[in-house]
């Protein structure tokens, strides 16, 4: 399984400024990052993984979607962006096997090349050059702190309009960017 050390080594190799943060509480899901770090949800990004049916019969693939913690993107927008006939959240065992991360703690880095990765365009457009964002590392006790623009350029996610988000009420949503995303 990939973990904070694998991410740290890759970022050192890419000469990218970053920090592996030890969390004060263990996470069971990436949506808990804002609470653990005391930050607004749009500073804590999660990667949701979906199982897609391609337009070609019998061809399936996974796609990742980067959104603020607690946000659920519009499935129709994802489907259109990747050209799928249908999609649904991938099963945890499929996510674990394909990404080598714990299913609920997927980092948007070091994902398979065969897995399209999307990011809501509002996140990319709203990032200040030096603004730090946090993502899971595949481990319950750590998070990755990295400049948003660095993360975006390294993960090579395609910016798309993911429509309006629904949000988990348990996640802090007091950030202006998340309100804009609604």
Q: What is the pLDDT of residues 102-122, one digit of tens each?
A: 999 999 999 999 999 999 998
Q: What is the pLDDT of residues 24-67, one digit of tens each?
A: 999 999 999 999 999 999 899 999 999 999 877 778 999 999 99
Higher pLDDT, 66 or 176: 66
Q: Which of 168, 155, 87 is nearest to 124 (CA)?
A: 155
For tokens 């509002």, name the residue: 122
Cβ-contact 99, 49 below 8 angstroms: yes
Non-local CB neighbours of 115 within 8 Å, separated by 6+ positions? 49, 61, 62, 63, 64, 98, 99
Asked if residue 170 has pLDDT above 70, the reply is no
Read off the pLDDT band of 73 (50, 70, 90).
very high
Can you give the pTM of this predicted structure?
Answer: 0.88
- Domain boundaries, given as residue ranges, for the chain: 4-163
Q: What is the pLDDT of residues 152-161, one digit of tens each?
A: 999 999 999 9
Q: CATH for 4-163, among 3.90.960.10, 3.40.50.2000, 3.40.50.2300, 2.60.40.1230?
A: 3.90.960.10
Q: Which of 35, 4, 29, 3 is nearest to 104 (CA)?
A: 29
Q: Cα 49 to chain center, whole Å?
A: 9
Asked if residue 127 has pLDDT above 80, the reply is no
């Amino acid at each position: 399984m990939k973990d904070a050390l694998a991410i740290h080594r890759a970022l050192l190799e890419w000469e990218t400024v970053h920090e592996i943060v030890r969390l004060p509480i263990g996470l069971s899901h990436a949506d808990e990052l804002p609470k653990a770090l005391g930050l607004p949800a749009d500073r804590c990004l999660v990667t949701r993984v979906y199982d897609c049916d391609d337009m070609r019969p019998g061809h399936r693939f996974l796609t990742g979607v980067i959104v603020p913690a607690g946000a659920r993107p519009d499935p129709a927008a994802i489907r259109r962006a990747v050209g799928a006939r249908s999609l649904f959240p991938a099963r945890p065992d499929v996510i674990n096997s394909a990404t080598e991360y714990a299913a609920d703690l997927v980092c948007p880095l070091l994902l398979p090349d065969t897995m399209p990765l999307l990011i809501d365009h509002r996140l990319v457009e709203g990032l200040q050059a030096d603004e730090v964002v946090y993502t899971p590392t595949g481990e319950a006790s750590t998070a990755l702190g990295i400049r948003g623009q660095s993360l975006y350029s390294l993960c090579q996610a395609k910016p798309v309009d993911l429509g309006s988000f629904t949000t988990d009420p348990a996640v802090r949503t007091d950030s202006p960017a998340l309100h804009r995303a609604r």
